[in-house]
Every structure is written in C-alpha cells, then in structure tokens.
Amino acid sequence: MRATVQVRIDHETRQQASELFERLGLDIPTAIRMFLKQSIEMNGLPFQPKVIERDINGFSLHDAERIEKARKQLAEGRGSRHELIEV
C-alpha cells in the first residue's frame, strides 16, 4: 500500500533542490524516499544536525574565520584580493 505525503516549501528551495537532484539523476520524490529509507536504516537522521550561529550580517562563525584568514594572508602579501572576494 502507498501513502501520499505533502510538504509545503518555498519556490526557491524547491527549484534549487530540483536542480541539484536533477544533476544527480533524481527527482524530488525519489530523493525524499531515499532520505526516509536512509533515516530508517540508520535509526536517525542520515546527517549530523548543527546549529550555525550567524552574526547580524548573516555570516557564520566559519565564514568569519575564513574571511579573517584571507585578510591576514592578503596583508602579509600571501594572497590576492580575488581570493578574499571568493571567501
């Protein structure tokens, strides 16, 4: 027997997920089924949930550390402005 599951998500999330799964040769329903099966197999979530704290500008602590490292390298002449912008 099959059951239908409905999930409401915003358009942008759906579009991004659809594009990602398409590159993997999947569609959204298949990806969701895979997630559910893997959750059952692992008896939990198939990934490690984390809380990413962001500052008022939306940067995570990890982002801030990467930016500071790139800034220091640039100041020491070991990096380029291009690398700092990519951070």
Reported as a single tens digit per residue, the pLDDT across 51-86 is 766 666 666 667 767 777 777 877 877 766 555 555
* 24-48 residue pLDDT tens: 999 999 999 999 999 999 999 998 8
Residue 29 and residue 5 in one domain = yes
Residues 42 and 73 in one domain: no
Model confidence, pTM: 0.57
Share of the chain above pLDDT 90, in %: 52
**How many residues are there in the chain?**
87
Same domain, 29 and 62: no
The domain of 59 spans: 50-87
Judgement on whether residues 87 and 74 belong to the same structural domain of the protein: yes
Tell me: do 40 and 7 sit in the same domain: yes
Exposed e or buried b for every residue in 23-37, given b needs 16+ CB within 10 A?
A: eeebeeeeeeeeeee
Q: Is the same domain home to 42 and 57?
A: no
pLDDT tens digits, residue range 16-26? 999 999 999 99
Burial class (CB in 10 A: 0-12, 13-18, 19+), 74: middle
Domain total of the chain: 2
